[in-house]
Amino acid sequence: MIYLDHAATTPLDEKVLEAMMPFLKEEYGNPSSLHALGREARGAIERAREKIAQTLNADPKEIVFTSGGTEGVNMVHKGAAFSFHGKARHIIISAVEHSCVLECTDYLTNHGYSVTAVPVNAEGWVDPRDIQKAIRPGETGLISIMAANNEVGTIQPFGEIGLIARERNILFHTDAVQAYGKIPIDVQKYNIDFLTVSGHKIYGPKGVGFVYQRKGTELVPLIQGGGQERDRRGGTENVAGIVGMAEAAKKICADTIEPGRLRVMAQVFLEKMKEAYPDLKVNGPEDPEKRVPGILNITLPGIEGETLVHSLDGKGYAVSSGAACAAGSAPPSHVLLAMGRNPKQAREGLRFSFGRANTGEQARQLAQDMPSITQGLQMISSFLEGDDVKPHHL
């Protein structure tokens, strides 16, 4: 299997597993216990907090450990909204946010809050001027715009939006799950109040993540319990997961070579694909510098993305249609719809996300194999639609 779905999850780094092992075996103490085993676990958590804070130019006390990106988003959106105390009940998001943001704001809408989803352009990019227009003075309490889109890779102008929020005394959150470790993020420079990250997107373990919460901001805790995380998130900490995530964070943020390598690999693959498919469309920016390294979303007109995912899987390639859903019932991608695609086109997106283990040879091999994989699918599609479409060949 050649794995090209790193935007969905990444394999656990060997060094990360090595760092975790002591806390899965002999160092099993509860970090809230006062004895030696407990103190060792507590020390490991605090060292991990320091490592992660350094990658963001943050204070270690501003890092809150969670179970992942989805919990982090809920913690920020609901925690911030509940802290408004009825004063500022308007939230601004973009139309291409992750489903956890959309469902979270749907929940808040049903509980008396109002939400504005600003549009994006054909490349999936949010215009900061639209954020400015959407602000309701005295009412807007939170602006939440992702740093990079999970389906098409578009890097958002989160620094400009953070400044807009800061100047108007509005809280600003960015979902950095796809951006963290791939592009530089400085929470001070970009005026970020809240930031969410998931460990399994950075070659760390699943089931662990963190929230950056700027000093002086208020979040009503979602999980009450034994006072862990300075009363911000109750429950015994996942010590091994936290240690592993911190090791993964340190490694990925220190690697200045890999982002460029991934960009080149994705671009080489795209150029080879364009030779075979003249009508190929890139979903997202054509300029690779405007996409997060390694993510490429394309459309081969006439072939549903989910159908092609299954066909590629049968040939040993793991990719994604960009929309997580049950087989055979894929709804159109809300991201592609927001970018102006019609429902049919929004079902045709195919996401390739390259990672550390991938090579240029693998990318070239996939581009070479694609025509034989898609030929039958295109013929079936053209027959069903009554089109006179000729299959592509290299």
Residues labelled catalytic:
325
What are the start-end ranges of the H helices in the chain?
A: 14-24, 36-56, 69-83, 99-109, 128-134, 158-167, 228-231, 239-254, 258-276, 305-314, 334-338, 343-346, 360-385
Quick check: 199 and 7 in contact, CB under 8 A? no
DSSP symbol at 177: T
Burial class from Cβ neighbours inside 10 Å (0-12, 13-18, 19+) for residue 226 reads exposed
202: number of CA atoms within 13 Å, CB side? 34
Phi, psi of 266 (to 5 degrees): -65, -35
Judged by DSSP in three states, 195 sits in strand
CA distance 167 to 191: 10
CA distance 73 to 97: 11
Nearest residue to 286 via CA among 274, 302, 300, 303: 274
Residues paired with 210 in a beta bridge: 65, 197
CA distance 118 to 143: 11
Residues contacting residue 165 through CB under 8 Å, at least 6 positions apart = 143, 171, 172, 191, 193
Residues paired with 171 in a beta bridge: 142
Write the CA distances from 216 to 62, 126, 156, 231, 355, integer angstroms. Answer: 10, 28, 26, 15, 37
Read off the tokens for 335: 């991201």
Amino acid at 393: H
